[in-house]
Amino acid sequence: MLLDSHLLLKYNNGEKAHIFYANSVYYEQYSDRVYNSDVDDTTQYGPETMTFYTDSPEVDEYKYHVYNYSGGYAGDELSYSGARVTVYYGSQTSETFHVPINQMGRTWNVFSIVDGEIVIENTITP
């Protein structure tokens, strides 16, 4: 199963940015801040790593999800993949999420960050 990390940024001016395999580096307008998909394993079982910054005053919300890139339909394969996401703040582990089991869909909505706080979603949707 091929899983892919995605980060969506929603700016306070209505603009959006999407960082993932096909768009792995994003430079924030008017600054030198870089959002980067550092490691994206497309052939095996990961890991994938992504660096992003939550102190940008222009970003209202960050949404992080994992997509079942190899799934042909919205079955329960993702929920039984054993996938996990670990969030680091610097070198410290902040949160670890495990994919919820017995749910149907191809997108694991892991978490959002709003006003610097992690908002746990941990749901799977089609």
Whether 113 contacts 53, CB under 8 Å: no
CA separation for the pair 113, 64 (Å, rounded): 8
pLDDT, one tens digit per residue, over 31-62 is: 666 565 555 555 666 577 677 766 778 889 99
Length of the chain: 126
Local confidence band at 64 (pLDDT 50, 70, 90 cut-offs): very high
pLDDT, one tens digit per residue, over 106-119 is: 999 999 989 888 89
CA torsion, ordered 90, 53, 63, 116, to nearest 10 deg: 80
What pLDDT does residue 26 have?
Answer: 67
What pLDDT does residue 53 have?
Answer: 67
The model carries a pTM of 0.83
Mean pLDDT of 116-125: 92
Does pLDDT of 104 surpass 80?
A: yes
